[in-house]
Amino acid sequence: MGKLEGKVAVITGAASGMGRATAIRFAREGAAVVVADLNSQAGEETVAEIAAAGGRAVFQHTDVSSDSALKALFDRAVSEYGRLDITFNNAGIGGATGKLTDISSEDWDKTFVILTRAVFLGIKYSIEPMRKAGGGSIISTASVAGLRPAAGLHAYSAAKAAVISLTQSAAIELGHDFIRVNCICPGGVVTPLVYRGMRGGEEEARRNMARAQPIPRAGRPEDIAAMATFLASDEAEWITGAAMVVDGGMNTGNARLNFAPGFSGPSFLRPDRSNEPPRTR
Ligand SMILES: NC(=O)c1ccc[n+]([C@@H]2O[C@H](COP(=O)([O-])OP(=O)(O)OC[C@H]3O[C@@H](n4cnc5c(N)ncnc54)[C@H](O)[C@@H]3O)[C@@H](O)[C@H]2O)c1
C-alpha cells in the first residue's frame, strides 16, 4: 500500500521540475493528483505519464498570479475527486534579478505575486476543504535563499523568506484543525528554472551544481519529491511550521572551501570576486 493511499492532492508548477516529479511520486503512492500549471502541453504530459503508470490525475490550466484561477483550482479538486488532503504550493520563477538599482517596482511586485501571494492564496483556499476532510497537509516550496539570501536575487530571497514566515504563522492558526503547514527549502536542484539560461544547458548545470555543497552531486527533483511525500503522509502528522532543508548540506556554509581551485560556485549563489584585489575605504 502506498503512503498516500486515498488522498487527493493539488500541485502547482506540476508541468516541470520538482512539481512534476512530486506529482508522479504522489500518484505512485496512491494519491489522486490535480496537476496545475501555466504550461498546458507539459502539464498534460505529466498527467499522461501518471495515467500510463496506472495512477489518477487531471490537468487544470492555472496561472497562480490570478486569485480566481487559484480558487477554481481548489474547486476542481473537490468536484473531481470529492475532497482535498494535500496542497503543494510549488510554482515558481527566478523573478527580478540583478543589482538593487536595476530592479523596477513592477518586477519586484511580479516576483512577490507568484512566489509569495500565490502561496498565501493556496493556503487560504485549502482551508475549507481540508477542514471538511478533518485535516490536511499544506506544503510550499521555499528555498535555501529564504534562509540565507543569494547574491543578485534580492526579490527571490525576500519572497522565499516570506514563504517561510507565512508557513509558521499559518501553522499556528491551523494546527487546531489538524491542518499542517510546512515548507521545503531546496538547495540547487537541476531543473529548467536554473539551466534555461545556461549556455551548456542541463549538463553544465549538473556539473557545476555537483560542487556547490558537501554532498558532491547536484540536487534532483526526486530529492524534493521524497521530502514532499514524507510531509504529505501520516508519518509527519506531528510536524507543522517546519522549514525542511533539502540541499546536500549547502546551508551548512563553507562548502566553498571544498571547491576545486578557481571554482566560485553557481553564479546565482554568490558573485565571483576571487580576482578582485582587497579594498580599503
Ligand atoms: N531549482 C532550484 O534549484 C530551486 C531551488 C530552490 C527553490 N526552487 C523553487 O522550486 C519551485 C519549483 O521550481 P523548479 O526548479 O522545479 O522549476 P521549473 O521551472 O522546472 O518548474 C516551475 C513550474 O512552475 C510553472 N509556473 C511558473 N509560473 C507560473 C504561474 N504564474 N502559474 C502557474 N505555473 C507557473 C512553470 O510553468 C513550471 O512548470 C519554485 O518555487 C522555485 O522557486 C528551485
Which tops the pLDDT comparison, 258 or 206? Answer: 206
Q: Helix crossing, 221-232 with 17-28: angle to 10°?
A: 50
Question: Taking the alpha carbons of 46, 48, 49, 54 in that order, is the dihedral positive or negative?
Answer: positive
SS3 (DSSP) at 108:
helix
Whether the CB-CB separation of 91 and 66 falls below 8 Å is answered with no
pLDDT category at 259 given cuts 50, 70, 90 is very low
Residue 222 has a pLDDT of 98
The stretch 196-212 carries a mean pLDDT of 92
The CA distance from 193 to 237, in Å, is 31
Total residues found in the chain within this entry: 281
Residue 197 has a pLDDT of 83
Residue 264 has a pLDDT of 43
The CA distance from 53 to 60, in Å, is 20
Cα angle at 246 between 241 and 252, to 5 degrees? 100
Pocket of ligand 1 (CB under 6 A): 12-13, 15-19, 37-39, 62-65, 90-93, 114, 141, 143, 186, 188-189, 191-194
The CA distance from 246 to 22, in Å, is 14
Where do the domains of the chain lie, and which CATH numbers do they carry?
8-193+222-247 (3.40.50.720)
| Start-end of H helices in the chain | 17-28, 40-52, 67-81, 105-112, 118-133, 154-174, 192-195, 201-209, 221-232
What's the Cα-to-Cα distance from 23 to each of 17, 162, 184, 228, rounded to whole Å? 10, 25, 16, 10
> Is the pLDDT at 260 greater than 50, yes or no?
no
The catalytic residues are 156
163 CA from centroid of ligand 1 (Å): 14
Residue 281 has a pLDDT of 75
> Is the pLDDT at 261 greater than 50, yes or no?
no
Whether the CB-CB separation of 270 and 151 falls below 8 Å is answered with yes
Residue 133 has a pLDDT of 98
Best residue for ligand 1 mutational test, from 37, 112, 139, 206 (most atoms within 8 Å of Cβ) = 37
pTM of this structure: 0.93
- Please tell me the residue having the least CA distance from ligand 1 atom 32: 63
Q: Which residue bears the cell 500565490?
A: 118
Whether the CB-CB separation of 126 and 80 falls below 8 Å is answered with no
> Is the pLDDT at 256 greater than 90, yes or no?
no
The stretch 194-207 carries a mean pLDDT of 92
φ/ψ (deg, to 5) at 201: 60, -150
> Is the pLDDT at 198 greater than 90, yes or no?
no
H-run or E-run covering 136? strand 136-141
The stretch 57-76 carries a mean pLDDT of 98
Task: Report the DSSP pairing between strands 243-246 and 179-186.
Answer: parallel
Residue 272 has a pLDDT of 54
Cβ burial, residue 239 (10 Å; 0-12/13-18/19+): middle
SS3 (DSSP) at 257:
helix
